[in-house]
């Protein structure tokens, strides 16, 4: 019989279920909860964790209830429970959390009446005990209060939810919310407590018939001494599992088929999920590659466009610069041409002025000679000017020819009462004929005005000079 149970456990992949965070399936319902008295709390700060039936290699065994310190201040314990899954019972492990969640509606007693926890509460960092639900020594524990708790333990000691004869409770919205909050797993002392119980043969349901000798302990792992409490009675008449080998084999086969079907479904689901993930990864990779290519093409097009724009700008700038330079050159050339033209015109005008013959000065009237006789005689007697105006290469001869220009003698020789002869006497400042013959260019008067040589005016002036002489 024991070999068959071990085989069944192996087929169903069963391990010690206490406080486990994974499911363990058992085709046989657990026994009813035994009736026992809660041991006294060892000290303030300990919280009560109720006892339950766990499943091991030899069947169900009892895990005694015990007082234990929480992993941190403010946490409460949510007990684990057995629940029917349609083909077997599955164990749902307990946990620590800010709120007490759903534990199957199982009435574990001592504050765990099936919904929530009425055994105490946290207040200002300290745990306060409800004396109506917990066995505490007020000498050692002072944080206490008293609130009546209705406990129907005499009516219902069922240890599982669902299935034939199980509790029909369902999780409330608040309990579902609490089950999704952050949880803390059982402490190491709790885990050791379960392992110690699994090794105690007297705690097997098949041995104690649902009435364990160690129903509860004052501290975890202490299975002997004053803190140990025995069960007063079984919660219900114990019904041993069928010992028929054929029934056990059939149950094992059924469990194996169910497990195989579950594994096959899980494998198919995993394969589908993997395929979906691979497809998604491929699609994402292709999309990323396409996006990268498009981005590269866009960047290349943008660079090309920028290059073209830059080239166009450079070309346009060069053309503009060339046009400006050309305009500047043209303007400079025009300015230079204008300046050159002006210079040429100016030079031409200067040459014209130089080449233009001097206009002979009109003879002065006698009145003018009477008023300013000395001043009028002065212009004719400018021998120095004549000397400088002579282009002839014999300046010495010209200088010696000038003695004829004696303005004082001429002024005295022209009496004022003869206005008419005085008009002819203006060119007569040269009374000496030798001076006229000594000048190779017989133009003394024009030489005073720098007149060019081809003017035979001096000859004309010589005639009146003879006339004047004969007149005298």
Digit-coded pLDDT (tens) for 57-75: 999 999 999 999 999 999 9
Question: Which one has a higher pLDDT value, 150 or 251?
Answer: 150
Question: Which one has a higher pLDDT value, 382 or 91?
Answer: 91
- Domain boundary at 356, 380, 412, which? 356
- The most confident of the ranges 260-269, 323-332, 441-450 is 323-332
Position 433 in a domain: no
For the segment 131-174, what is each residue's pLDDT rounded down to a tens digit? 999 999 999 899 999 998 876 544 579 999 999 999 999 999 99
3-class SS at 56? Answer: strand
Query: Are 268 and 319 within one domain?
Result: yes
Position 396 in a domain: no
| Structural domain of 207 | 2-241
Residue 105 is given by DSSP the state T
Are 61 and 203 contacting, i.e. CB atoms less than 8 angstroms apart?
yes
Position 434 in a domain: no
Position 161 in a domain: yes
Q: Which of 9-13, 183-187, 206-210 has the lowest mean pLDDT?
A: 9-13
3-class SS at 321? Answer: helix
Are 129 and 120 contacting, i.e. CB atoms less than 8 angstroms apart?
yes
CA 156 to chain centre: 66
What's the pLDDT at 127?
97
Position 447 in a domain: no
Query: Are 237 and 103 within one domain?
Result: yes
Confidence of residue 325 (pLDDT cuts 50, 70, 90): confident
Position 52 in a domain: yes
Q: How large is the average pLDDT for residues 163-186?
A: 93
The domain total for the chain is 2
Query: Are 174 and 269 within one domain?
Result: no
Phi/psi of residue 204, each to 5°? -70, 140
> Residue 170 and residue 342: Cα distance in Å, rounded?
119
Position 461 in a domain: no
Looking up tokens 């000290």 gives 43
By CB atoms closer than 10 A (0-12, 13-18, 19+), residue 318 is exposed
Question: Which one has a higher pLDDT value, 34 or 390?
Answer: 34
Task: Tell me: pLDDT of 21 over 90.
Answer: no
Q: Which of 18-22, 270-274, 275-279 has the lowest mean pLDDT?
A: 18-22
Position 440 in a domain: no
- Domain boundary at 216, 241, 266, which? 241
Task: Tell me: pLDDT of 183 over 90.
Answer: yes
Query: Are 59 and 76 within one domain?
Result: yes
User: How far apart, in Å, do the first and last CA atoms of the chain sit?
Assistant: 196
> Residue 210 and residue 164: Cα distance in Å, rounded?
19
For the segment 87-124, what is each residue's pLDDT rounded down to a tens digit? 999 999 999 999 999 999 999 999 999 999 999 999 99
Confidence of residue 263 (pLDDT cuts 50, 70, 90): low
What's the pLDDT at 243?
52
3-class SS at 191? Answer: helix
Residue 350: both structure tokens together: 């200067």
Query: Are 156 and 114 within one domain?
Result: yes
Q: Which of 223, 173, 160, 172 is nearest to 28 (CA)?
A: 160
Residue 205: both structure tokens together: 């349901």
> Residue 6 and residue 99: Cα distance in Å, rounded?
38
Give ∠ CA 192-196-198 in degrees, rounded to 5. Answer: 115
**pTM for the structure as a whole:** 0.51
Q: Which of 219, 201, 24, 185 is nearest to 97 (CA)?
A: 185
The answer for 12, left when phi > 0, alpha when psi is -120 to 50, beta otherwise, is alpha
Query: Are 204 and 318 within one domain?
Result: no
Query: Are 215 and 251 within one domain?
Result: no
Query: Are 213 and 337 within one domain?
Result: no
* β pairing state of 216-217 and 59-63: unpaired
The answer for 59, left when phi > 0, alpha when psi is -120 to 50, beta otherwise, is left
What's the pLDDT at 323?
73
Contacts of 16 (CB under 8 A, 6+ apart): 54, 55, 56, 194, 195, 198
Question: Which one has a higher pLDDT value, 372 or 40?
Answer: 40
Query: Are 151 and 281 within one domain?
Result: no
Query: Are 257 and 203 within one domain?
Result: no
Q: Which of 296-300, 350-354, 388-392, 468-472 has the lowest mean pLDDT?
A: 468-472
The torsion angle over the Cα atoms of residues 46, 116, 26 and 183, rounded to 10 degrees, is -60
Looking up tokens 């765990």 gives 112
Report the 10 Å Cβ neighbour count for 276.
Answer: 10
> Residue 16 and residue 29: Cα distance in Å, rounded?
16
> Residue 398 and residue 436: Cα distance in Å, rounded?
10
> Residue 190 and residue 18: Cα distance in Å, rounded?
9
What's the pLDDT at 423?
39
Query: Are 167 and 285 within one domain?
Result: no
What is the radius of gyration, based on Cα positions, of the chain? 73
- Domain boundary at 324, 341, 356, which? 356
Task: Tell me: pLDDT of 472 over 60.
Answer: no
> Residue 447 and residue 434: Cα distance in Å, rounded?
18
Query: Are 290 and 338 within one domain?
Result: yes
Q: How large is the average pLDDT for residues 435-441?
A: 44
Phi/psi of residue 467, each to 5°? -60, -45
Are 19 and 94 contacting, i.e. CB atoms less than 8 angstroms apart?
yes
3-class SS at 61? Answer: strand
């Amino acid at each position: 019989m024991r070999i068959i149970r071990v085989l069944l456990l192996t087929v169903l992949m069963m391990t010690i279920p206490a406080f486990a965070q994974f499911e363990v399936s058992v085709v046989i319902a657990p026994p009813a909860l035994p009736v026992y008295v809660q041991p006294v709390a060892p000290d303030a700060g300990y919280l009560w964790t109720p006892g339950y039936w766990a499943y091991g290699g030899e069947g169900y065994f009892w895990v005694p209830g015990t007082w234990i310190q929480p992993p941190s201040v403010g946490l409460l314990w949510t007990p684990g429970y057995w629940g029917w899954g349609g083909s077997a019972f599955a164990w749902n492990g307990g946990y620590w959390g800010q709120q007490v969640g759903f534990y199957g509606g199982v009435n574990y007693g001592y504050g765990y009446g099936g919904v929530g926890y009425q055994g105490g509460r946290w207040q200002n960092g300290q745990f306060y005990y409800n004396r109506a639900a917990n066995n505490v020594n007020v000498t050692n524990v002072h944080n206490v209060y008293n609130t009546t708790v209705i406990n129907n333990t005499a009516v219902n000691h069922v240890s599982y939810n669902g299935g034939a004869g199980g509790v029909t409770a369902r999780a409330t919205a608040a309990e579902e919310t609490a089950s999704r909050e952050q949880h803390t797993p059982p402490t190491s002392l709790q885990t050791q407590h379960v392992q110690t119980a699994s090794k105690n043969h007297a705690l097997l349901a098949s041995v104690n018939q649902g009435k364990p000798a160690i129903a509860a302990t004052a501290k975890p792992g202490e299975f002997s001494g004053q803190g140990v409490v025995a069960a007063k009675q079984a919660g219900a008449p114990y019904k041993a599992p069928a010992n028929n080998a054929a029934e056990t084999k059939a149950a094992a086969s059924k469990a194996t088929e169910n497990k195989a079907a579950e594994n096959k479904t899980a494998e198919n689901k995993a394969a589908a999920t993997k395929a979906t993930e691979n497809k998604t990864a491929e699609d994402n990779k292709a999309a990323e590659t396409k996006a990268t290519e498009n981005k590269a093409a866009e960047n290349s097009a943008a660079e090309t466009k920028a290059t073209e724009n830059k080239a166009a700008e450079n070309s346009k700038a060069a053309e503009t610069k060339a046009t400006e330079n050309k305009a500047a050159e043209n303007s400079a050339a025009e300015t230079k041409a204008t300046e050159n033209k002006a210079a040429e015109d100016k030079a031409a005008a200067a040459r014209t002025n130089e080449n233009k013959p001097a206009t002979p000065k009109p003879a002065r009237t006698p009145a003018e000679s009477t008023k300013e006789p000395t001043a009028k005689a002065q212009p004719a007697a400018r021998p120095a000017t004549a000397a400088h105006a002579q282009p002839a290469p014999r300046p010495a001869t010209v200088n010696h020819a000038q003695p004829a220009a004696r303005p004082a003698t001429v002024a005295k020789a022209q009496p004022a009462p003869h206005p008419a002869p005085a008009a002819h006497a203006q060119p007569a400042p040269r009374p000496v004929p030798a001076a006229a013959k000594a000048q190779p260019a017989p133009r003394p008067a024009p030489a005073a005005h720098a007149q060019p040589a081809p003017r035979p005016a001096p000859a004309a002036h010589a005639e009146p000079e003879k006339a004047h002489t004969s007149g005298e």
